[in-house]
Structure 1
Amino acid sequence: MNKFSVPLLTLLLSACAIGPDYQRPTIDLPEQWQTAKTADVDTRAWWAQFSDQRLQTLINESLNNNQDLKIAVANIEASAAALGLARTDFLPSVNAAISGARERYIDGSTDSIYQAGLLLDYEFDLWGRIRRANEAAAADLAADAFTRDALQNLIVAQVSNAYFQSRALDRRIALLERLQVTQRENLQLQQKRLQAGLIAAYDLEQARSEAYVVDAQLPALRAARVQTLTALAVLRGVSPKAMTQAWQQQYASDVDASALPIAPDVPMDLPASLLERRPDIRAAEQRLVAANARIGEAKAAYFPRLSLTGIAGAASQALADLLDNSEQVWSAAATLSQPLTDIRRVGYRVDAAEARYTGADAFYQKTVQIAFQETLDALTSVDAARAIMQAQDQRVEALLKAYQAAQSRYRAGDLSYLELLDVERQLRAIEQEQVIAQLGLLQSTVDLYRALGGGWQSSADTVAAK
């Protein structure tokens, strides 16, 4: 045989990789979904578009301290170590060893032999088993990185929604407290009118009942605000002591100070790059890549495994002479092993790997479906929330004009104080609905940004490329 035949044959065999090569599953996408407007939206650090420094501070604290994110980072580190371990299978294993043996022969004589040296063990990756294992480990690492990105996206959305909720509750409480002052003034006026004989007791009790309505609403709003603050504390990963401080935090009683930020405009189109922008989709696909590679890893066990073992060192009949008067020895052996009785075990492992791939494929398809559902729902919610807020703004503007006109008529003596208080009560009630509409638009916008994928793909792409 030509001296180049064996290396060439080894090279050709090592180019083989048993098992299917990965191909992205075909997805039935809508024909008109690839639009350009939303694709141009920069979702990296999208919360900065709300122009709220306090929100940015809370988000930065959450990204640095959230316990779920720490778990995700630990999973990435574990997967990176697993990939490093898988890559070592490409290299020969070299270990130092020392051994001693004593033998008795048929003639009754005995002999001792002591050896010290280096042991070599190397497996030729003829069928791509090691390469498939590395492909799977790399995909697992990328999947964990994308999972962390999806978690970051979710946490930022949760922090933003909780923060806007707390701001909205602050404003609603402040508006109710202002209405409470108006109701108490009305109650005092009615008490004076009753004493003057101008009204019946029924009118006084009706005014008292309206005042109690506000008194009953305030505790529920204050409790909801406290729960929102403690939820924010958990998202930020703070200690129980800091959580208690958040629980004791006072709300902003000034109506103007509790004004909500303005929601930024987001183009109302489906992005063409949704499959690439959503980290949860990328994570599901990487899990599918890993499952596909493990089919090849399992199938490679059907074929013979070629390994090279060797030893080089010193040997002596006396342990004391092992280092000084020993003989240099070496040996090398190639082993070709083929599974026989384990064929059924290999078949079961292949069946299990194929079943896991089927499950990973279904999970990927479901993740894509959920992504489109969330995006379409978010687009619908933003559109509806914007229309509701515009209508509420117009209601408040109209009623504010009516209240100003009522004030002018009251000062001119053409309107009673009770009628003025009634107009103000209507205005304060509509302002409550306006705050709820503003909060709905803010939270719908946050949900849309989250549905569009957040802004951490670049870091996970770097991991996936390694």
Structure 2
Amino acid sequence: LVSAVASSYINLRSLDRQLEIAKATTASRAESVHVFELRFKGGEVSQMELAQSQSEYEASRAVIPQIEAQIAQQEDALSVLLGRNPGDILRGRALAELAAPAVPAGLPSDLLERRPDLRQAEQDLVAANAQIGAAKALYFPQISLTGLLGTQSGQFSKLFTGPSRVWSFAGSIAQPIFEGGAIVGQVKQAEAVQQQALYSYRKAIQVAFQEVDDALISSQKLREQFDVQERQVEALATYAHLARLRYEGGYTSYIEVLDAERSLFNAQLNQTQTQAGVLVSYVNLYKAMGGGWVITADSMTTQAAQHSGDAAAQSAK
């Protein structure tokens, strides 16, 4: 739930930023259309150039309602995650102000033990082991080995009574002492279930390590991608500015200006999505580690106590 809420909010702020970019681009293109309309009336530009300018304006304008719909849907989804009715979500920091947390080196793998899927798989294995013990126990009569106050039990004489070779307890409960293949089959079945639970537990561990590794790789590569896209956006902004100057000076056609501005617009949207992806990768890492990687003194003391208790229990066994 924590991971889903965090990811939803990051995606919401990413959509907010994309909407800002789309509106700013649309406003800029609207000014260009206005200028071109005046120039067209004065005979300075052709109708084709005016149509090109209008086309790009409408293209960026069409993106706005699409992003607005995604924002509304994301707000509704986040509201439901928070246990509220669908509606608006109050905003906090902007996407660029959300800092990715530092991940220290040398984190212990014990953090994964908090994952609910690993806990479930472990408890399934414990239950399967108990089933083996219960199945093997059918070989033995369930009677008291000692009598009252630790004296000799008088029930041993009832161990094998009657021609059907059954043992009786308290005169009211009777069950076969030897059922041969039936009990053997139950033991084998319990052992097979235990093996299945063991393989499931191993798989759960492998999946846990895989998800941690995937999240670490994703965060690293997305950061590298974001850095590249940041330089690309800067270069395209320069390109668009120079292309417009060249067009105003009569050195190039308006198509070059449109191409530069279109590339800049798309690059800005892609960079925003990657920026959100970097933050979401840390959320995935938090989830993969079963609740993050911040280890406090209290949690370390608790873990040490748990390990000591486990070691004592294992020694007792």
1:284 equivalent to 2:121? Answer: yes
1:225 equivalent to 2:225? Answer: no
**Kept in 1: contact 2:114–2:290 (CA 8 A):** yes
CA drift of 1:169 comes to 0.4
Residues 445, 230 of structure 1: alpha-carbon distance in 2 compared, 3 angstrom cutoff: same
Partner of 2:226: 389
CA drift of 1:452 comes to 2.3
Distance in 2 (alpha carbons) for counterparts of 1:250 and 1:294:
50
Read off the aligned partner of 2:9 and give its amino acid letter: Y
Distance in 1 (alpha carbons) for counterparts of 2:82 and 2:131:
38
2:54 to 208, 214, 231: 208
Structure 1: runs of 5+ lacking an equivalent: 1-154, 311-331
Partner of 2:164: none
Residues 268, 423 of structure 1: alpha-carbon distance in 2 compared, 3 angstrom cutoff: farther
Read off the aligned partner of 2:122 and give its amino acid letter: E
Distance in 2 (alpha carbons) for counterparts of 1:447 and 1:221:
24
Distance in 2 (alpha carbons) for counterparts of 1:289 and 1:398:
60
**Kept in 1: contact 2:3–2:283 (CA 8 A):** yes
Q: Percent identity of the aligned residues?
A: 38
Q: How does 1:66-465 map to 2 (within 5 A)?
A: 155-238=1-84, 242-243=85-86, 246=87, 249=88, 257=94, 259-267=96-104, 271-273=108-110, 276=113, 278-307=115-144, 334=155, 336=159, 337=167, 339-340=176-177, 342-399=179-236, 427-454=264-291
SS at match of 2:143: strand
SS at match of 1:265: coil
Q: How does 1:4-83 map to 2 (within 5 A)?
A: none
451-460 or 344-353, which moves further after superposition? 451-460
Read off the aligned partner of 1:339 and give its amino acid letter: P
Residues 394, 267 of structure 1: alpha-carbon distance in 2 compared, 3 angstrom cutoff: farther
**Kept in 2: contact 1:179–1:425 (CA 8 A):** no
Q: CA deviation digits over 1:111-132, x for unaligned, max 9? A: xxxxxxxxxxxxxxxxxxxxxx
**Kept in 2: contact 1:399–1:427 (CA 8 A):** yes
431-440 or 277-286, which moves further after superposition? 277-286
**Kept in 2: contact 1:270–1:375 (CA 8 A):** no
CA drift of 1:423 comes to 6.4
Residues 395, 367 of structure 1: alpha-carbon distance in 2 compared, 3 angstrom cutoff: same
Residues 440, 429 of structure 1: alpha-carbon distance in 2 compared, 3 angstrom cutoff: same
Q: CA deviation digits over 1:346-366, x for unaligned, max 9? A: 333323321211111111111
**Considering only aligned residues, what root-mean-square deviation do their CA atoms show, in Å?**
3.9
Residues 390, 258 of structure 1: alpha-carbon distance in 2 compared, 3 angstrom cutoff: closer
CA drift of 1:281 comes to 2.3
Tell me: higher relative CO, structure 1 or 2? Use CA pairs within 8 A at least 6 residues apart.
Answer: 1
Distance in 1 (alpha carbons) for counterparts of 2:105 and 2:46:
57
Distance in 2 (alpha carbons) for counterparts of 1:427 and 1:404:
11
Read off the aligned partner of 1:365 and give its amino acid letter: R
CA drift of 1:403 comes to 7.2
Distance in 1 (alpha carbons) for counterparts of 2:105 and 2:41:
61
Distance in 2 (alpha carbons) for counterparts of 1:181 and 1:250:
26
Q: Which has the higher helix share?
A: 2
TM-score (norm 2): 0.71
Read off the aligned partner of 2:24 and give its amino acid letter: R
CA drift of 1:339 comes to 2.0
Partner of 1:325: none
Query: How many residues of Structure 1 are paired with residues of Structure 2 in the alignment?
Result: 276
Read off the aligned partner of 1:185 and give its amino acid letter: E
CA drift of 1:291 comes to 0.8
CA drift of 1:216 comes to 2.5
Read off the aligned partner of 1:368 and give its amino acid letter: I
CA drift of 1:192 comes to 1.8
Q: CA deviation digits over 1:357-416, x for unaligned, max 9? A: 111111111111211221221121111011011122233344556778899x79xx9799
Residues 178, 250 of structure 1: alpha-carbon distance in 2 compared, 3 angstrom cutoff: farther
**Kept in 1: contact 2:12–2:75 (CA 8 A):** yes
Distance in 1 (alpha carbons) for counterparts of 2:207 and 2:223:
24
Read off the aligned partner of 2:76 and give its amino acid letter: T
Residues 175, 393 of structure 1: alpha-carbon distance in 2 compared, 3 angstrom cutoff: same
Distance in 2 (alpha carbons) for counterparts of 1:236 and 1:274:
26
**Kept in 2: contact 1:298–1:346 (CA 8 A):** yes
Structure 2: runs of 5+ lacking an equivalent: 148-152, 160-166, 168-174
